[in-house]
Amino acid sequence: MANIFSMVTLKGSNFYTKYAIKSFFQNTKLENEDEFLLINNDHCNTDEFSIYNRIRIINNETPFSFAENVNQGISLAIKNKKNLIFLNNDIIFTKDWFNPLKLELKNISIPVSNQLFQYNSACEKLKLIPTMRFDQFNENYDLLNDITAAHKKKFKANQKFQTLLMPFYCFKLPYDILNKIGYFDQSFGKGGGEDIDYRIRCAVKGYEVNFLLDSYLLHFHGKSTWDGIESKQETEERNRIYINTFKKKWGEEITQIFIMRNNFSNILSKQKIEDEFKQRKFGELIRKLL
C-alpha cells in the first residue's frame, strides 16, 4: 500500500527542516504512488525545498496545533487509501530507516532514536546524547550510519518493544488503523497528550504501538515543539492545559501512569496490572485499566 509522508515546518525550527528533508530523500526509497507533504505552519520561507519535485507544500493560513497538522495528513491518507507516516522536522534519517516500518501493517510503528539508545562513533567525533544541538551532529552522516549499522547488529531482526512513554516524533499509522480509530483529538491545545490519547484509543480496539529496533534515527528532541520556540511560562501553560484535558477525558489513574509517570505503584497493585507493567505489555495494561 502506498504512503503519505507528512512533515511540519515552522519558523522556530525551519533550520532543522532543511537537513531532515535532505537526509529523508537520501535514505528513503519512495514508490511511485508515495507522496511527501510539507506543512508550512507559520509562513516560513520554503523556497529552498522547490528542488525536490516530490514535495507538495501546504501553507496554513494560521498556525495549527500538532493534532491539527497530523489530521491534515490523516484526511489525505483516508481519502487516498494510503498509510500515513508523520515526521517531526528535527530528525536526521538514516540508511534504510523506513524498511522495517514498511513491513508493519497491523500496528503503529515508531523508530528508536538517541532518546533510547546513546552511542559514540568509533573515532569519538560523534556522540549521540538524548537531547542534541545541530552543531553536535555537524553533518556527520557517515558516522551516524556507522552507528546505526552497529546498533542493528546488537539485536535480532524484527524485534519490537513498548515503553511507558512513546512520543510520536516519527510514526506510521497504517490505513486500517486510520479507518478504525480516525483523527487525533484536537482538544489538548498546541501539543501534548494527543499522542498518548491516540495510543489509548488504539489499545481499546486491540491495536498496539511499538518501537522497532531495526529502525534508528537521530532526533534532536524538542526543536519542533518547545526548545527555543516557547518561553518557560508558555511551556508550563501548554502542559497545564493538556494535562487537565487528559485528566477530564481518561481519569486520575491513567493520567498518573501515562502523563505524570510517577507514584503509581499503588494503582498497579489496586488494579492488578503489575505483571503487565513489568513485562512492558502496555496495550494489555491499558485494556485492563479501562
- Residue 255, in any domain of the structure: no
- Residue 55, in any domain of the structure: yes
Residue 36 has pLDDT above 90, yes or no: yes
- Residue 34, in any domain of the structure: yes
Contact 138, 104 (CB under 8 A): no
Task: Kindly state the percentage of the chain with pLDDT values over 70.
Answer: 98
Per the rule left: phi > 0, alpha: psi between -120 and 50, beta: everything else, 5 is beta
pLDDT at 256: 97
Task: Tell me the C-alpha distance between 287 and 290, whole Å.
Answer: 5
SS3 state of residue 208: coil
* Residue 177, domain CATH: 3.90.550.10
Strand partners of residue 4: 35, 84
- Residue 191, in any domain of the structure: no
Give the number of domains in the chain.
1
- Residue 204, in any domain of the structure: no
Nearest residue to 207 via CA among 167, 231, 241, 176: 176
pLDDT in tens, 201-212: 999 999 999 999
Contact 95, 27 (CB under 8 A): yes
Residue 150 has pLDDT above 70, yes or no: yes
What domain range is 127 assigned to? 3-182+210-221
- Residue 282, in any domain of the structure: no
Residue ranges of the alpha helices (H) in 52-205? 66-80, 99-103, 134-137, 141-153, 175-181, 194-204
pLDDT in tens, 56-113: 999 999 999 999 999 999 999 999 999 999 999 999 999 999 999 999 999 999 999 9
- Residue 169, in any domain of the structure: yes
- Residue 262, in any domain of the structure: no
Instruction: Determine if the pTM surpasses 0.75.
Output: yes
